[in-house]
Structure formats: structure tokens, C-alpha cells
Amino acid sequence: MLRKEIADYYQEAAEEARLATGPAQLEFARTKEIVRRYLPPPPATILDVGGAAGAYSLWLAERGYQVHLVDPVPRLVAEARCRSAASSNRNCSCQVGDARALAFAENAADGVLLLGPLYHLTEEAERSRALREAYRVLRGGGILFAAAISRYASALDGLARDLLADADFRRIVTTDLEQGQHRNPTHNRDYFTTAYFHRPEELRAEVMSAGFTCCAVFGLEGPGWLLPDFEERWADSRKREDLLRVARALEREASIVGVSAHLLAVGTKE
């Protein structure tokens, strides 16, 4: 089960709308690009673990995939069910569940999206359990997409949005950089909730230790998410393509991958 502060955060935060606003739009577009590169063609079976309100699962269902959504937050699963019911291409199922103990048989899926759980499993052993569960349910040749928040995200976000003026936030950033353990003792939900922030090489190592061959660890957003006029640029088709072009160009450059707010590891089960 989720820690109380994490569950409380997702009861109040509008996670169902997040990917349609601000720099998260770049995260969403880039995640879909990379998922499209590696997934087998439809009607492959995909598990969207930590799928929230179904942004990715419904996108895949619309493309002919057989998608099962799992999330630990009942409110978000209920929202996913509503959205699926209103869609002409529905999810196969939407259920409350835990990434560390999936209610699926071995070799049940061709792909697993693990686009949120690793953030909130703050102990390496728990992240390992989630990754090994993804390995268990995948067929041979199956593809894993495992997302993480960059170790440097809060420091860069604080600089971009002038949050470092707050001494409480500076203390949060110091711990993030030193330990990767993000804690928010304030009542400011803009400072996120309990999480673990990865270095790129840590994410790769964790994926490989679960048995996967790691194809790559991508930086999703590049530096574009830090721009103060992001919304204006995203609304302009030419400037939006510039943001995407630069993110693609830098996505595997080791010296800059961690500048992205989000990392995405792609692994295969041999």
C-alpha cells in the first residue's frame, strides 16, 4: 500500500489533468514517442502499472492494443474506468493494485509500462520487487518502460521557478541531491510528496538487476521544461517542434540526460 502522505497527495492533486498542462505536455509527448519506437504492433497485450486516470492506457487502446490498467489510488482508478467507458476503444480492465504484487499470471503481457511506481517506492528492495514483478508477467521478448524522476529535478525546478528563495525548499533540494530521498515536510503541495529521485546510472542498474537487458535510459524532456515561457512555446507549432527536436537530440547524451525532469529506461526480457 502507499504511504499515507503519498495517498493523501493523490487524493488532492489533480494527477488526472497533469499531463495536459505545463511542461508535463512535453513529458507526455516524448514518452509516447519512445513507447511507439519499441512496442510490438497491436493487438499486443500491455499492462499500464501505475496508470493513474488512463492517459497512456487509453492512448494505446485507441491504437488497437489490449490494455490493462493498474493503480494503487482508488480515486484515479475510478476516473480511469469512467474515461474508458466513454471511449470507443476501451481498456480491457482497470483495477486497484500494487506494482509489487500484480494480479496477472506469468508471461501475460507483451509490454509493461511502469511510469510512476518507481518514484514512490523509496527503498531499493521495494523497487526491485516491482521490477521483478514486471519481469515475471512479461513474455520472452517483452518490453519494459520504467520511468523515474531525475536526481536533479528539484534543484533545476527550484532555479527555474525561483523556489530556492524558500529556506524549506532549499533544505528539500539539499537532501534530494545528497540522498535522492525527497521529503516534503511543508504543506505546500507544489513541492511534491515522498519520492525517490534517481541518477540515470542507478535506474539502469536497477532495471538490469531485475533480469532485463537495458536498451537505454532516455532523458525525456531535455532542457525545454525549464523555460519560463514554456506554455507560449508549446502553443506555437514551430517552437513546439523545436522543443521536441532538442529533446530527441539530447535524449541519450550521458552528460545531459539528468537535466530532464524524467528518465525513461527501456528494457527487454530475453
Is there a contact between 51 and 15 (Cβ–Cβ < 8 Å)? no
Q: What is the pLDDT of residue 77?
A: 98
Q: What is the pLDDT of residue 1?
A: 78
Q: Which residues contact 181 (CB under 8 A, 6 or more apart)?
A: 122, 175, 196, 197
Quickly list H helices, the chain. Answer: 4-12, 15-18, 24-38, 55-62, 74-85, 117-120, 124-137, 153-160, 167-179, 200-209, 230-235, 237-250
Q: Output the CA torsion sign for 25, 27, 32, 34.
A: positive
Task: Tally the domains of the chain.
Answer: 1
Is there a contact between 3 and 194 (Cβ–Cβ < 8 Å)? yes
CATH number at residue 37: 3.40.50.150
- Domain extent, residue 115, equals 4-268
Is there a contact between 169 and 140 (Cβ–Cβ < 8 Å)? no
pLDDT one digit per residue (tens) for the chain, 270 residues = 789 999 999 999 999 999 999 999 999 999 999 999 999 999 999 999 999 999 999 999 999 999 999 999 999 999 999 999 999 999 999 999 999 999 999 999 999 999 999 999 999 999 999 999 999 999 999 999 999 999 999 999 999 999 999 999 999 999 999 999 999 999 899 999 999 999 999 999 999 999 999 999 999 999 999 999 999 999 999 999 999 999 999 999 999 999 999 999 999 999
Q: What is the pLDDT of residue 84?
A: 98
The model carries a pTM of 0.97
